[in-house]
Amino acid sequence: MRITDLLDRRSIDVNGTASSKQDAINKMVDLMCKSGKIKDKEEYKKRVFAREEEGSTGIGEGIAIPHAKCDAVSKPGLAAMVVKGGVDFDALDGEPVSLIFLIAAPNTKENVHLDVLGKLSVMMMDEDFSERLKNANSVDEFLKIIDDADEESKGIDSYGATVADAKCTILAVTACPTGIAHTYMAAEALEKAAIANNCSIKVETRGSGGAKNVIRADEIKAADCIIVACDVNVPMERFAGKKLIKVQVSDGISKADQLVKRAISGDVPVYSCEGNDTQEASDNGKEGIGHSLYKHLMSGVSHMLPFVIGGGILIAIAFLLDDFSLNPGNFGKNIPIAAFFKTIGEAAFGLMLPVLAGYIAYSIADRPGLAVGFVGGLMAANGNAVLQWVNADGQSMTYNGLNGFIQNTVFGAEGNTVSGFLGALVAGFVAGYIVRILKKLFSKLPQSMDGIKPTLLYPVLGILIMGTLMLLVFNPIIGVVNTALANFLNAMGSSSKIVLGIVLGAMMAIDMGGPINKAAYVFGTMAIANGNYDIMAAVMIGGMVPPIGIALATTFFKNRFNKSEKNSGLSNYIMGLCFITEGAIPFAAADPARVIPATALGAAIAGALSMLFNCTLMAPHGGIFVFAVVGNWPMYLLALAVGSVVTMFMLALLKKPIKE
């Protein structure tokens, strides 16, 4: 494919004018639309401006290459405009821009066009080529200049050069968020700068078409310096122990010569790989704390999700196959085939919290954090009941530690020591930073001991510290919170059923499987034992609303969610109908300030309506599989529908349309 295959003559203006950067982009989008390759002009324009917010595409030397890759593009395309007088484009060098290329890339798996677009970006760095384009007098002349240069241009599959008697051997990695233009322009600039300074270089490019010219382990070993010019995370652990410069991709374009000269000087810090290998820090400053925490959290959530969905659906199948009438207290395992599915589902579901905590810790501290996080998450799920022994009199004893002291002195009774979802979140972050502290403490040990750090020192001390904190601090304190909630609900139940329904419904939706949710659920099961069946009905409906409401929102308000979230919508319908509130966790974790209030309000309304309609539930379970024992089920379905729709509209109101 050639560059002129993407450049429609209707989308070229060699006598353009623009009063500002915004005006220039608006006119470029209009030119692009003339080619018929844009399905949704406004959406495409939003994506172009969103890319500019990440960093100016005015690369200097009077050139700008704005671009966007999204579903609003039907076919790959280019638009071009020459602004004879120049326009302020916030370019990297502060100079006006007189030559603008706009790139449109469809959001498809086929990425052949990306190589072409990347090649154009590199060609633009040839001053003679760009000057001839700026001075073109007609569209035909403009196209001929490009076609002639394309004939002589090299591809973008590999950047590098081997120089005889090189001053320095350099390896580099370049990547930008879109992976279309800046990735290859930085690679080209670094290659030219290295050759000009008599250095050998190899550049790994990580564009939308994937990683190319990937650096090998033997090359890393032989290199004098590594330059990482990236605006996205790239694998960094491989560079441990090497001198490394980390900068933005724009610096790889505009400051390539400075970077190469710095590499030659040797005045470069050694990359220790301590802490997070996903580049929290760079030569340009540190990543924001909020973004860093969010990134670690989403690492845990993304790894946890398959266990939630897989285990939850298998448990739901068990309920569907089982016979509730045989033994309501053992529902899900009354017949062999149901027990088979539920056993497998529970095994997968039981890994949810350890995986969440483990991969949060992994994101923070790399592999050494994984074991410490897993242990913390497992203890959050199991609680302090695991610490048991038999005394000299043959009596079974359980250590309750701080929890026992607080419960006996404050509440007069022992409480639940399971910290659940919230405990696992805390455990993941604490585990990660425990390991990072240990790495720092042991960094002064002799190099000969490096082999025992990840296999002995980090896991033994990390797990010991993590387990101690879970037993003595996190589990006990959240156990106190659970007990206090149960006491509060008992007091409320005697005064107002509707208010209790509001509270129970909201509790089920606030932490979605965590201690608050579990406190409401336990309260509902206790009520069944006492012959009160309306409380469990409110609890169940409160747990069903969040995933169903979110699923409805992903269906009817698609532009409020990213592609991954929309793909999860169908599974949330299933999980909601199966009383698996945890299906909403990834959405809540990604945007808690908006999702949790929306789900809590919808669940609270559903819980209140369930109480108002005197709906009842005699089974200590939930979902469509126990609807046979729901009292006043038509009104119960109405309450569920109302609560779910409220959540849907609240999400549509609170969440703004997003730019993927």
**pLDDT by residue (tens digit) across 553-603?**
999 998 888 776 787 778 889 888 888 887 787 788 778 889 999 999 999
pLDDT of residue 56: 78
Cα distance between residue 226 and residue 170, in whole Å: 6
Tell me: pLDDT of 201 over 70. yes
Assign 200 a pLDDT band (cuts: 50, 70, 90): very high
- Kindly report, residue by residue over 341-351, the tens digit of the pLDDT: 989 988 887 88
pLDDT of residue 171: 94
Cα dihedral 547, 551, 552, 558 sign: positive
Tell me: pLDDT of 159 over 50. yes
Cα distance between residue 624 and residue 617, in whole Å: 12
Assign 483 a pLDDT band (cuts: 50, 70, 90): low
Q: What letter does residue 310 receive in the DSSP assignment?
A: H
Tell me: pLDDT of 404 over 60. no
Cα distance between residue 98 and residue 84, in whole Å: 6
Say which residue, 235 or 136, is predicted with more confidence: 136
- Segment 400-420 shows an average pLDDT of 51
Cα 79–Cα 80–Cα 85 angle in degrees, nearest 5: 150
List the one residue out of 80, 88, 90 whose CA is nearest residue 133. Answer: 80
Other beta carbons within 10 angstroms of residue 589's beta carbon come to 22
Tell me: pLDDT of 413 over 50. no
Catalytic residues: 67, 176
- In angstroms, what CA-CA distances link 568 with 95, 220, 554? 46, 40, 8
- Segment 474-479 shows an average pLDDT of 77
649, 551 contact by CB (below 8 A): no
List the one residue out of 501, 654, 523 whose CA is nearest residue 592. Answer: 654
- Kindly report, residue by residue over 265-282, the tens digit of the pLDDT: 988 888 876 544 434 334
pLDDT of residue 637: 93
Assign 286 a pLDDT band (cuts: 50, 70, 90): very low
pTM above 0.75, yes or no: no
Tell me: pLDDT of 387 over 60. no
130, 122 contact by CB (below 8 A): no
- In angstroms, what CA-CA distances link 392 with 384, 389, 395? 21, 10, 7
Share of the chain above pLDDT 90, in %: 28
Tell me: pLDDT of 81 over 70. yes
Say which residue, 253 or 34, is predicted with more confidence: 34
Assign 538 a pLDDT band (cuts: 50, 70, 90): very high
Phi and psi dihedrals of 347, rounded to 5?
A: -65, -45
Cα distance between residue 430 and residue 629, in whole Å: 44
List the one residue out of 78, 89, 68, 75 whose CA is nearest residue 20. Answer: 89
Q: Strand, helix or coil at 562?
A: coil
Cα distance between residue 511 and residue 214, in whole Å: 43
| β pairing state of 200-207 and 169-175 | parallel
- Segment 605-631 shows an average pLDDT of 83
- Segment 608-629 shows an average pLDDT of 81
Assign 482 a pLDDT band (cuts: 50, 70, 90): low
Residues of the chain with CATH 3.40.50.2300: 159-286
Cα distance between residue 503 and residue 608, in whole Å: 8
Report the Cα–Cα distance between both ends of the chain, in Å, rounded.
27
Q: Is 203 exposed, middle or buried (0-12, 13-18, 19+ CB in 10 A)?
A: buried
Assign 510 a pLDDT band (cuts: 50, 70, 90): confident
- Segment 120-142 shows an average pLDDT of 83
646, 566 contact by CB (below 8 A): no
pLDDT of residue 408: 47
List the one residue out of 189, 329, 320 whose CA is nearest residue 249. Answer: 189
- Segment 79-93 shows an average pLDDT of 87
What element of type H or E holds 564? helix 563-567
- CATH number attached to the domain at 159-286: 3.40.50.2300
List the one residue out of 111, 82, 109 whose CA is nearest residue 96. Answer: 82
pLDDT of residue 161: 82
- CATH number attached to the domain at 3-113+123-151: 3.40.930.10
Assign 492 a pLDDT band (cuts: 50, 70, 90): low
Number of residues assigned to the chain: 660
Tell me: pLDDT of 501 over 50. yes
Strands (E), 88-168: 97-106, 159-161
- Segment 352-381 shows an average pLDDT of 90
- Segment 18-45 shows an average pLDDT of 91
Q: Strand, helix or coil at 506?
A: helix
Phi and psi dihedrals of 608, rounded to 5?
A: -65, -45
pLDDT of residue 430: 95
Average predicted confidence (pLDDT) for the chain: 81
pLDDT of residue 307: 81
Tell me: pLDDT of 254 over 70. yes
pLDDT of residue 285: 41
Tell me: pLDDT of 409 over 50. no
Tell me: pLDDT of 495 over 80. no
| β pairing state of 281-282 and 244-247 | unpaired
Cα distance between residue 28 and residue 427, in whole Å: 50
Helical residues (DSSP H) of 174-288, grouped into ranges: 182-196, 217-222, 249-254, 256-265
Assign 244 a pLDDT band (cuts: 50, 70, 90): very high
Residue type, 341: F
Residues of the chain with CATH 3.40.930.10: 3-113+123-151
436-451 CB burial, b ≥16 within 10 A, e <16: bebbeebeeeeeeeee
Tell me: pLDDT of 284 over 60. no
Tell me: pLDDT of 157 over 70. no
Tell me: pLDDT of 403 over 70. no
pLDDT of residue 129: 83
Assign 67 a pLDDT band (cuts: 50, 70, 90): confident
- Segment 244-255 shows an average pLDDT of 86
pLDDT of residue 612: 92
Q: Which two tokens stand for residue 44?
A: 């495409």
